[in-house]
């Protein structure tokens, strides 16, 4: 019995290859006389020149092809030849699933619908969990907090394709913007990264029966994280059984790939599901598991040649093949312009046939069909509801609007006393609870020298911590005593600036500074300490303490020059909002061991351990509640002779205390792509693009809504390209000139680093 | 020599054809090699060096739970004269596999973890072995090589409970458990050293990659 022709689509082979060629090689291995037709939407799809294809079917790109007509073409070809079609892309398989063609060997529409990523109910099908995730259609601050709470070990993903690791807020926004441009208006989500080993299972199923599965461990990966070499073995029996139940429930037909991460405890975490064979499928065939062969055999009833395993390990090669005479290379590149240079045809990792456009067309069709049912619901989801605390914090502005008749002078900062007090109260209560050692919170003056906040610091028993003598003098003006102050910064302390006053502790940021401080008589502080650079980091701050020579140099200065009547202290600071709490804690434990070793080598007991963290306001509260007491115990055990722990929470204390209120000067654009010009700018909000914040819109009636993400922008008032206060925000259709835009978390560096700009005054006149 | 090779494996060696043909004579050559021990001058010069190393081990242990995933950033692998003292180690930039393994055992002891010396014989190409001999020309040349086989030192750590072990190779900072089973870079014989009778309750055997290994004798794989 002769095997009917088989059409195999998605044949591009770049750094992130499509599976077409691998499927073809596998089928040829199982059926050497088979007739295979490579189908793709671009002549740049390099795999079409593969010798494993007997014929090529080249169509128009997905972006402009007539989908109905193309469906007829597929049907006609399959009917004419009684052949089969194995789609090599998820999107094509998804599109075809709606039309339920029996000779198309891919999953049903029901299978697609039941497994939409991030597939949070994966545990109902497979022995795995889905990592925590957040839908990005929400308040930007919520997105930022999600990333911070996961230490920026997060992935930005689309429900059908593409995943990018993001590292910080500007990177997240830029990556998201890039993905939006590629994929259109897709529902992206942010997902926690699971640390572990990649485990991938390819499988083949026919009408709900699992035909075979191959288990692959990646051994070499490309920079894009794509497999280049791997080891393939039979799927473990228990996992095979679970996948069997999975395909049975979904009545799966076709190839598939399940991607997991296995963590240190052995837990499988679901990462991705592909609705077709993976690109490495021929690696499984080399290992004796010919999954495409099994699929064709199940569909046709014609047995495939069973191959012996050649090797359980495979690697990819780059080889040159002759270009097909029927599909020759395009004309040479041309010089477009001096700025754009030569228009070279670049090899893309994404299929050149325009799969993103197919995805957009599928999404648009889905949206239209679902729009009627969800219209009302969608309107409500555009904007987040405010919490009662937010409403209460912003109510004075509402009252002002009603009394000033929109003549409110903007921009200005709105200080909320209750918000300002809350973290002071929290940490002060904690400090009082600690009995075994003196526990002192410190207020970082540079974060915001607003006298209202410095007075609260005094009221709640905080030490004042400065990076300059002027800061310490300003703290003294509001009542802080010099003997309670901490000096900690890159500027060497000049005791003359303190007018003979002695402070509690001064930290040296360098070897040179340590030598100088140890030589000062009388000592400017009761304690002299060293700020240690976070271990194995490239921070510009602190003294590096890693090599034997580093330890010898520092310990020699301390042993020989630290005055007898001066206590020894250590300090470390690194940003929890960049690293996440778990990394912050392990870095801090490493710091404690560094300090312990220094203590051992110098025989000088450490009296003060000062730790700083750069937490966000939202992340500091759980840290203080859940981790700080245990850390305090660890410090006391490591340093039984220590007198005091100082903690400097940084922006966590004050960032939430102020809002920046601005006014809309102009509205631009149409539909959902509005942007507005605000009367605030980077001078008032200097870190506008560095972290996520909530943005509120208030109309002239005082009605407030919290904005969610979108494709709009809030532009600043000055003539700088980078003066963008919010990027990727959904602005209300009814936003008007003179409405207010209110930015949260403007109470820390946003306040202390703000400056005057664009008001016609020179720097000298302002100062 | 024969009393140091697991008798059950003697037959296996003798019947080996091709790639393991030289193993018996290699083991005979390597019998004088024992796991590296770091010497101390019993004075401050070595005491301070050892204290720094132990302290630094604790620092690294706060960051990673692997046995010693940091030595390559401090020392490169290469030839080293013997004996080696603590006061020399702190000044060196290059250490050999035996010293890296001895340091790993010291590092794990500093954080309260038991570990064991591992000696092994690995296979490379003869050309590559000649390169090794050339690298070592000033430190004794090919005392640790034989044809296409080389002597290597690693560290065994307990994998879970009981007598299952994993073998950590500090020279490449990875576990040897997933290393090739034949050809280039494969392990052809292994000896796990335990003079503390830690595994006495298990018949002086450990289990590595599903194989039962007799302690303190060469096991041919």
pLDDT of res. B18 = 42
In angstroms, how far apart are the furthest CA atoms of chain A?
Answer: 102
Please give, one letter per residue, the 3-state secondary structure of A610-647.
EEECCCCHHHHHHHHHHCHHHHHHHHHHHCCCCCEEEE
Q: Does B52 touch chain A (CB under 8 A)?
A: yes
pLDDT confidence tier of residue A202, bands split at 50, 70 and 90: very high
| CB interface of B with A, residues 73-92, below 8 Å | 73-74, 90-91
Q: Which two tokens stand for residue A666?
A: 């102009």
Collapse the DSSP code of B28 into the 3-class scheme (helix H, G, I; strand E, B; otherwise coil) and give the result. helix
The answer, for A586 touching chain B at a CB cutoff of 8 Å, is yes
Q: Which residues in chain A have Cβ-Cβ distances shorter than 8 Å to B59?
A: 535, 590, 593-594, 597
Q: Which residues touch A601 (CB under 8 Å, ≥6 apart)?
A: A551, A555, B48, B51, B52, B55
SS3 content of chain B, % helix, strand, coil (to 5): 35, 25, 40
Strand partners, B190: B120, B219
Write the burial class of residue A437 (CB in 10 Å: 0-12 exposed, 13-18 middle, 19+ buried): middle
Of B52, B62, B74, the CB nearest to A590: B62
pLDDT at A58 over 70: yes
Interchain CB contact of A592 with B (< 8 Å): yes
Asked if A118 and A550 touch (Cβ cutoff 8 Å), the reply is: no
Neighbouring residues of A240: CB distance < 8 A, sequence distance ≥ 6 = A210, A213, A234
pLDDT-derived band of residue A377, with 50, 70 and 90 as boundaries?
very low
Scan for tokens 């804690």, then name that residue: A585
Contacting A residues, span 327-346, partner chain B, CB-CB under 8 Å: none
Query: Which is it for strands A704-707 and A695-698: parallel, antiparallel or unpaired?
Result: antiparallel
Q: In angstroms, how far is CA A637 from the centroid of its own chain?
A: 36
The Cα–Cα gap between B115 and B156 comes to 6
Q: Using only C-alpha atoms, what is the Rg of chain B? A: 17
Closest Cα to residue B71, out of B192, B165, B155?
B155
Q: Is the pLDDT of residue A767 over 70?
A: no
Q: Rounded mean pLDDT of chain A? A: 92
A18 with A349: CB under 8 angstroms?
no
pLDDT digits (tens, 9 = 90+) for A280-307: 999 999 999 999 999 999 999 999 999 8
Q: Which two tokens stand for residue A180?
A: 């939006």
* The two structure tokens encoding residue A452: 């209202």
Q: Please give the Cα distance from A297 to A311 (Å, whole number).
A: 23
Residues A254-271 have pLDDT tens digits of 999 999 999 988 999 999
Task: Tell me whether B56 touches chain A (CB under 8 Å).
Answer: yes
B55, A596: Cβ pair inside 8 Å?
yes
Chosen for mutation from B44, B47, B48, B55 (greatest number of chain A CBs closer than 10 Å) is B55
Closest C-alpha to A61, from A46, A29, A39? A39
Cβ B170 vs Cβ B155: under 8 Å: yes
Longest dimension (CA), chain B: 54
Candidate from A160-169, A389-398, A400-409, A677-686 with smallest mean pLDDT: A400-409
For B131, the 3-state DSSP assignment is helix
Confidence of residue A161 (pLDDT cuts 50, 70, 90): confident
Mean pLDDT of A535-560: 94
Q: Mean pLDDT, 10 residues at a time, over chain B (221 residues)? A: 52 52 91 95 95 96 90 94 95 97 97 97 94 94 94 96 94 92 92 95 94 95 89
* Interface mutation target, options A195, A197, A570, A593, chain B, most CBs of B under 10 Å: A593
Give the pLDDT confidence of A70-123 residue by residue, as tens digits.
999 999 999 999 999 999 999 999 999 999 999 999 999 999 999 998 999 999
**3-state SS of A396-462?**
HHHHHHHHHCCCCCCCEEEECHHHHHHHHHHHHHHHHHCCCCEEEEEEEHHHCCCHHHHHHHHHCCC
Cβ separation of B63 and A592 shorter than 8 Å? no
Pair B206, B160: CB distance under 8 Å: no
B49–A597: do the CB atoms touch at under 8 Å?
Answer: no
Q: Which is nearest to A189 in space by CA: A121, A237, A98, A120? A: A120
Q: Does A587 touch chain B (CB under 8 A)?
A: yes
Question: Which chain B residues contact residue A594 at CB under 8 A?
Answer: 55, 59
pLDDT at A334: 77
pLDDT of residue B4: 55
Confidence of residue A366 (pLDDT cuts 50, 70, 90): low
Angle subtended at Cα A497 by Cα A495 and Cα A502, rounded to the nearest 5 degrees: 45
Can you give the pTM of this predicted structure? 0.91
Of A433-442, A706-715, B4-13, B212-221, minimum mean pLDDT range: B4-13
Residue A379 has pLDDT above 50, yes or no: no
Backbone angles phi, psi at A596, to 5 degrees: -60, -40
pLDDT tens for A477-497 read 999 999 999 999 999 999 999
DSSP-derived secondary structure letter, B17 = -
B205 within 8 A of B213, measured Cβ to Cβ: yes
pLDDT band for A344, please (50, 70, 90 cuts).
low
Rounded to an integer, what distance in angstroms lies between the CA atom of residue A498 and that of residue A502? 8
Kindly state the tokens that stand for A197: 């080993």
Of A369, A195, A380, A231, the residue nearest A309 (C-alpha): A231
- What value of ipTM does the predicted structure carry? 0.90
Check pLDDT > 50 for residue A197. yes
**Pairing, β A525-531 against β A341-342:** unpaired
Q: How far apart are CA A309 and CA A283, in angstroms?
A: 10
d(C-alpha A227, C-alpha A217), whole Å: 9
- pLDDT at residue number A679: 96
Mean pLDDT of A5-24: 95
Output the CA angle A90-A91-A92, nearest 5 degrees: 95
For chain A, helix, strand, coil in percent to 5 are 35, 25, 40
Q: Which residues, including other chains, have CB under 8 Å from residue A229's CB and lie 6 or more apart?
A: A218, A219, A220, A313, A314, A315, A316
């Amino acid at each position: 019995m002769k095997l009917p022709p088989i059409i195999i689509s998605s044949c591009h082979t770049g750094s992130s290859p499509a599976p077409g060629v691998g499927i073809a090689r596998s089928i040829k291995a199982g059926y050497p006389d088979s007739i295979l037709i490579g189908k793709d939407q671009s002549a740049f799809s390099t795999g079409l020149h593969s010798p494993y294809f007997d014929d090529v079917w080249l169509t128009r790109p997905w972006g402009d092809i007539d989908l109905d007509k193309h469906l007829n073409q597929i049907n006609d070809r399959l009917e004419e030849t009684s052949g089969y079609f194995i789609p090599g892309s998820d999107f094509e398989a998804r599109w075809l699933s709606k039309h339920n063609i029996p000779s198309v060997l891919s999953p049903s529409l029901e299978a697609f619908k039941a497994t939409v990523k991030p597939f949070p109910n994966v545990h109902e099908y497979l022995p795995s969990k889905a990592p925590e995730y957040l839908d990005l259609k929400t308040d930007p601050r919520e997105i930022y907090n999600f990333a911070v709470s996961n230490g920026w070990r997060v992935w930005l993903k689309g429900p059908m394709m593409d995943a990018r690791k993001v590292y910080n807020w500007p990177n997240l926004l830029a990556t998201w913007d890039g993905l939006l441009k590629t994929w259109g208006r897709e529902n992206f989500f942010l997902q926690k990264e699971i640390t572990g080993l990649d485990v991938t299972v390819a499988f083949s199923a026919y009408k709900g029966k699992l035909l075979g599965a191959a288990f692959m461990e990646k051994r070499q990966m490309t920079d894009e994280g794509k497999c280049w070499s791997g080891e393939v073995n039979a799927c473990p029996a228990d996992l095979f059984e679970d996948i069997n139940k999975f395909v049975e429930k979904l009545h799966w037909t076709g190839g598939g790939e399940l991607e997991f991460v296995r963590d240190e405890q052995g837990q499988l975490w679901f990462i991705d599901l592909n609705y077709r064979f993976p690109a490495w499928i021929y690696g499984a065939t080399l290992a004796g598991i010919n999954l495409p062969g099994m699929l064709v055999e199940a569909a046709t009833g014609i047995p495939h040649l069973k191959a012996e395993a050649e090797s359980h390990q495979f690697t990819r090669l780059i080889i040159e093949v002759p270009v097909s005479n029927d599909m020759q290379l395009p004309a040479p590149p041309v010089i477009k312009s001096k700025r754009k240079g030569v228009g070279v045809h670049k090899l893309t990792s994404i299929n050149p046939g325009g799969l993103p456009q197919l995805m957009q067309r599928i999404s648009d069709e889905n949206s239209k069909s679902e729009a009627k049912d969800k219209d009302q619901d969608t309107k409500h989801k555009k904007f987040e509801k405010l919490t009662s605390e937010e409403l209460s914090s912003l109510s004075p502005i509402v009252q002002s609007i009603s009394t000033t008749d929109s003549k409110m002078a903007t921009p200005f900062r709105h200080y909320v006393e209750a918000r300002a007090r809350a973290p002071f109260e929290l940490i002060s209560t904690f400090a009082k609870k600690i009995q075994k050692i003196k526990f002192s919170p410190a207020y970082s003056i540079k974060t915001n020298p607003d006298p209202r906040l410095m007075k609260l610091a005094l009221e709640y028993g905080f030490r004042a911590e400065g990076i300059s003598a002027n800061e310490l003098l300003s703290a003294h003006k509001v009542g802080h005593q010099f003997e309670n102050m901490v000096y900690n910064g890159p500027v060497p302390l000049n005791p003359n600036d303190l007018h003979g006053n002695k402070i509690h502790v001064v930290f040296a940021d360098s070897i040179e500074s340590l030598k100088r401080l140890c030589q000062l008589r009388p000592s400017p502080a009761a304690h002299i300490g060293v700020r240690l650079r976070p271990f194995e980091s490239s921070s510009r701050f602190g003294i590096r303490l890693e090599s034997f020579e580093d330890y010898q140099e520092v310990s020699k200065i301390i042993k020989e020059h630290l005055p007898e009547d001066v206590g020894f202290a250590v300090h470390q600071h690194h940003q929890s909002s960049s690293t996440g709490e778990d990394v912050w804690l392990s870095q801090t434990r490493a710091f404690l061991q560094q300090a312990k070793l220094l203590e051992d080598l110098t025989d000088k007991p450490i009296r003060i351990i000062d730790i700083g963290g750069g937490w966000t306001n939202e992340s500091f509260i759980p840290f203080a509640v859940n981790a700080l007491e245990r850390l305090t115990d660890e410090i006391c055990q490591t340093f039984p002779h220590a007198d005091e722990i100082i903690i400097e929470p940084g922006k966590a204390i004050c960032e939430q205390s102020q809002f920046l209120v601005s006014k809309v000067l102009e509205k631009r654009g149409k539909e959902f792509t509005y942007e507005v010009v605000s009367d605030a700018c980077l001078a008032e909000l200097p870190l506008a693009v560095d972290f996520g914040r909530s943005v509120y819109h208030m109309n002239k009636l005082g009605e407030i809504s919290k904005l969610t993400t979108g494709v709009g922008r809030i532009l600043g008032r000055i003539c700088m390209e980078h003066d963008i206060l919010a990027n990727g925000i959904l602005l209300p259709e009814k936003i008007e000139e003179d409405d207010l835009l209110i930015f949260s978390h403007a109470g820390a560096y946003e306040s202390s680093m703000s400056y005057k700009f664009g008001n016609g005054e020179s720097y000298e006149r302002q100062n | 020599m024969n009393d140091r090779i697991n008798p059950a494996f003697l037959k296996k060696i003798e019947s080996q054809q091709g790639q393991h043909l030289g193993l018996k004579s290699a083991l005979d050559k390597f019998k004088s090699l024992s796991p590296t021990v770091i010497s101390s001058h019993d004075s401050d010069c070595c005491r301070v060096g050892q204290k720094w190393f132990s302290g630094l081990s604790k620092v690294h242990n706060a960051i990673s739970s692997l046995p010693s995933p940091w030595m390559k950033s401090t020392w490169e692998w290469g030839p080293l004269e013997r004996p080696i003292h603590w006061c020399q180690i702190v000044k060196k930039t290059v250490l050999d596999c035996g010293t890296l393994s001895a340091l790993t055992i010291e590092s794990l002891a500093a954080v309260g973890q038991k570990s064991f010396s591992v000696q092994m014989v690995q296979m490379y190409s003869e050309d590559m072995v000649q390169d090794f001999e050339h690298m070592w020309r000033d430190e004794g040349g090919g005392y640790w090589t034989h044809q296409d086989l080389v002597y290597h030192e690693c560290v065994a750590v307990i994998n879970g409970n009981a007598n299952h072990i994993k073998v950590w190779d500090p020279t490449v900072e990875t576990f040897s458990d997933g290393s090739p089973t034949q050809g280039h870079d494969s392990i052809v014989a292994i000896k796990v050293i335990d003079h503390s009778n830690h595994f006495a309750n298990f018949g002086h055997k450990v289990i590595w990659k599903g194989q039962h290994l007799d302690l303190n004798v060469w096991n041919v794989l």
